């Protein structure tokens, strides 16, 4: 099986000018919007997007049509659409490519979504570091206004829409949808307690939809070929295609758009060329930094959001697959991931703010030759204060999902590398009069092993 290019088709077919208006118009651009302007808002949502089964590509995989339906019908109150272009999840680089390579496709998707949710205002919150991406989006938006695809009375349909490209300024947490809204309001990007969900009280306390770049970029194809057609691709409730960012120790790192249902093996070995230098795979991270890791024994697991989540206690998350060969120290990767979360924690919730720093320090010494025998248990003990029980799906003591994400690398170490770690640092010392700690047969905190997940 190869790639199935839908959202990446234009930028792959025309790498030299895929982002220009000329190329966009020459390859069917804005035809879907013409069609959508003939459709009623509910028709777009129910007969196209719902039928397509499209789920959010930002990480959580929530059905797009369902999210839109939460806004309700009171269109007298202002409502907003925010495109999440803040892509900051480590090793995810698909939105970056879609923005630079096909900005008009995103703009067209935004207008289609805006028609369906009946908003007059949309914002694209683009990661501050994407300077070229912001240039290209600015230009696309300007051209769309000039061509009458944005502004007032779009192509005589009576629909009005303004789009503002808004640059972030370096904060992973602004990628969380409520952090994004805080940031867009000119505040620190602190996440907010839910409920109320953004659909009820979002931007400026008005009903708001937040959707990812890839989610919105898929809409023109859905309108063009029909929701049912898109829904016929993929597997189970994971319909259509997704763009997977494959990086690390593979021969051909890059973005691959594939039909869901393909296996990790086909993606990593057939498309990305397998492990570089002919070495062996040690482990891989299947869905961005926040997802628990998987092992070589999981290579035949299908790229199906529900299977990966329910049967393997991980997630396809942001679609980033990091591949590590046998030379890699899993403790070093865990340390760097936790260092990232510690740096990006906004500081609002105590378990995340304090826990991330403690965990980073413990992992630093473990990965830099100063580990102690009791460190693995200490990691679990601290993690348990962030995610009580440490069982999937992760319980949450924090406002947003950054907290549980910190624990993913640690639970992964416990699941797959405990023996290796005990071998390296020895067993915790037994002090006089104390029961010997139950290591390695049982950690201080029970971690549930999904059936068949052991390597």
Partner 1 sequence: MAFTAPNRARAREIVERYPFKRSAVLPLLHLAQDQDGWVTPEAMEEVGELVGISAAQVLGVCSFYTMFKREQVGGLVVSVCTNVTCLVRGGPELYEALRARYASDDDVFVEEVECLAACDTAPVMQVNYDYHSRMTPETAEAVIEEYKSGKRTRRGISGGRITIAGSDR
Ligand X SMILES: Cc1cc2nc3c(=O)[nH]c(=O)nc-3n(C[C@H](O)[C@H](O)[C@H](O)COP(=O)(O)O)c2cc1C
Q: What is the contact surface with partner 1 in residues (CB under 8 A)?
A: 78, 87-93, 95-96, 121, 127-132, 134-135, 138, 164, 166-172, 183-189, 204, 245-249, 253-255, 285, 289, 320, 322, 324, 328, 332-333, 336-337, 340, 343-344, 346
Best CA proximity match to 375, nearest among 337, 326, 413: 413
347 dihedral zone (left: phi>0; alpha: psi -120 to 50; beta):
left
Instruction: Give the interface size with ligand FES as a residue count (CB under 6 A).
Output: 2
Quote the least distance from Cβ 90 to ligand FES, whole Å.
6
Q: Which of 250, 285, 295, 286 is nearest to 271 (CA)?
A: 250
Check residue 178 for interaction with ligand FES (CB under 6 A): no
**Residue 210 interacting partner from ligand X, partner 1, ligand FES, none (CB closer than 5 to 8 Å by kind):** ligand X
Nearer to ligand X (CB atom), residue 56 or residue 207: 56
Q: What residue 312 binds from partner 1, ligand X, ligand FES, none (CB within 5 to 8 A, per partner kind)?
A: none
Numbers of helices and strands, H then E, in the chain: 20, 10
Q: Taking CB under 6 A as the rule, does residue 208 contact ligand FES?
A: no
Give the whole-angstrom CA distance, residue 130 versus residue 136: 10
Exposed, middle or buried, 268 (CB in 10 Å: 0-12/13-18/19+)? buried
Cβ neighbour number for residue 366 with a 10 Å cutoff: 24
| Joined tokens for residue 327 | 């030379």
Taking the C-alpha atoms of residue 317 and residue 309, their distance in angstroms, rounded to an integer, is 9
In the numeric block, the tokens 């959707």 are attached to 211
Closest contact distance (angstroms) between CB of 272 and ligand FES is 16
Task: Please name the helix (run of DSSP H) or strand (run of DSSP E) that holds residue 82, with its range, or none.
Answer: strand 80-85
DSSP character string of 2-33: ----STTHHHHH-TTTTTSHHHHHHTTTTHHH
> Minimal CA–CA distance to 371: which of 343, 407, 409, 334?
334
Told to check if 255 binds ligand FES by CB under 6 A, we report no
| C-beta of 223 vs 285, nearer to partner 1 | 285
| Nearest distance in Å: CB 91, partner 1 | 5
Write out the residues near ligand X by the rule CB under 6 A: 56-60, 62, 84, 86-89, 173, 175-177, 210-212, 215, 400-402
CA–CA distance, 403 with 397 (Å, rounded to integer): 8
286 binds, among ligand FES, partner 1, ligand X, none (CB under 5 to 8 A by kind): none
Single out the residue of 147, 71, 178 nearest to residue 115, CA to CA: 71
| Nearest residue (CB) to ligand FES, 92 versus 105 | 92
Least CB distance to ligand FES at residue 282 (A): 18
In the complex with ligand X, the residue whose CB is nearer, 65 or 447, is 65
Task: Please state the closest distance from residue 326 (CB atom) to ligand FES, in A.
Answer: 20
Q: Report d(CA 172, CA 281) in Å as an integer.
A: 29
Query: 89 or 384: whose CB is closer to ligand X?
Result: 89
Burial zone of 124 (CB within 10 Å; 0-12 exposed, 13-18 middle, 19+ buried): buried
Q: What residue 62 binds from partner 1, ligand X, ligand FES, none (CB within 5 to 8 A, per partner kind)?
A: ligand X
Phi, psi for 253 (deg, rounded to 5): -60, 150
* Closer of 213 and 222 to partner 1 (Cβ): 213
What are φ and ψ of residue 400, in 5° steps?
A: -120, 180
Shortest Å, Cβ 401 to ligand X = 4
Kindly tell me which of 6 and 337 has the beta carbon lying closer to ligand FES. 337
Binding mask 84-123 for ligand FES (x = CB under 6 A): ------xx--------------------------------
Pick between residue 333 and residue 402 the one whose CB is nearest to ligand FES: 333
Residue 175 contacts which entry, partner 1, ligand X, ligand FES, none (Cβ below 5-8 A, type-dependent): ligand X
Between residues 321 and 387, which has the closer beta carbon with respect to ligand FES? 321
Cα separations (Å) of 397 from 163, 376, 386?
36, 22, 6
Footprint of ligand FES (CB under 6 A): 90-91
């Amino acid at each position: 099986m190869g790639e199935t290019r839908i959202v990446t088709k234009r930028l792959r077919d025309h790498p030299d000018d895929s982002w220009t208006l000329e190329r966009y118009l020459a390859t069917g651009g804005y035809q879907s919007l013409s069609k959508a302007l003939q459709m009623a808002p509910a028709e777009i949502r129910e007969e196209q997007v719902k039928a397509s089964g499209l789920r959010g590509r930002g990480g959580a995989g929530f059905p797009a049509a369902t999210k839109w339906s939460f806004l309700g019908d009171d269109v007298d109150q202002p409502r907003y659409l925010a495109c999440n272009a803040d892509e900051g999840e480590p090793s995810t680089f698909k939105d970056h490519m879609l923005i630079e390579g096909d900005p008009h496709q995103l703009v067209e998707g935004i207008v289609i979504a805006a028609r369906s949710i009946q908003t007059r205002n949309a914002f694209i919150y683009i990661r501050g570091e994407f300077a070229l991406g912001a240039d290209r989006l600015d230009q696309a938006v300007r051209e769309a206004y000039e061509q009458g695809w944005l502004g007032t009375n779009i192509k005589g349909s009576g629909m009005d829409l303004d789009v503002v490209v808004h640059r972030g300024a370096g904060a992973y947490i602004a990628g969380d949808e409520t952090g994004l809204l805080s940031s867009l309001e000119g505040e620190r990007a602190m996440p907010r307690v839910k409920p109320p969900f953004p659909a009820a009280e979002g931007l400026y306390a008005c009903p708001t939809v937040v959707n990812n770049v890839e989610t919105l970029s898929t809409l023109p194809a859905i309108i063009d070929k029909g929701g049912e057609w898109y829904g016929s691709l993929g597997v189970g409730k994971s319909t259509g295609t997704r763009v997977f960012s494959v990086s690390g120790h593979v021969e051909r790192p890059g973005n691959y758009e594939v039909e869901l249902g393909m296996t990790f093996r086909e993606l990593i070995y057939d498309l990305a060329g397998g492990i570089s230098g002919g070495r062996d795979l040690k482990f891989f991270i299947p869905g961005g930094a926040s997802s628990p890791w998987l092992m070589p024994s999981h290579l035949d697991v299908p790229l199906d959001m529900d299977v990966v989540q329910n049967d393997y206690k991980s997630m396809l998350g942001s679609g980033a697959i990091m591949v590590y060969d046998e030379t890699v120290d899993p403790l070093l990767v865990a340390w760097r991931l936790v260092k990232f979360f510690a740096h990006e924690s906004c500081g609002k919730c105590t378990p995340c703010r304090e826990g991330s720093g403690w965990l980073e320090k413990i992992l630093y010494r473990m990965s830099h030759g100063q580990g102690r025998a009791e460190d693995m248990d200490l990691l679990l003990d601290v993690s348990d204060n962030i995610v009580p029980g440490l069982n999937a799906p992760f319980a949450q003591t924090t406002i947003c999902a950054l907290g549980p994400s910190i624990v993913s690398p640690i639970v992964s170490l416990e699941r797959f590398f405990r023996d290796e770690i005990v071998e390296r640092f020895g067993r915790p010392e037994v002090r006089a009069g104390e029961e010997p700690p139950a290591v390695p047969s049982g950690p201080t905190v029970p971690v549930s092993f999904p059936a068949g997940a052991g390597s």
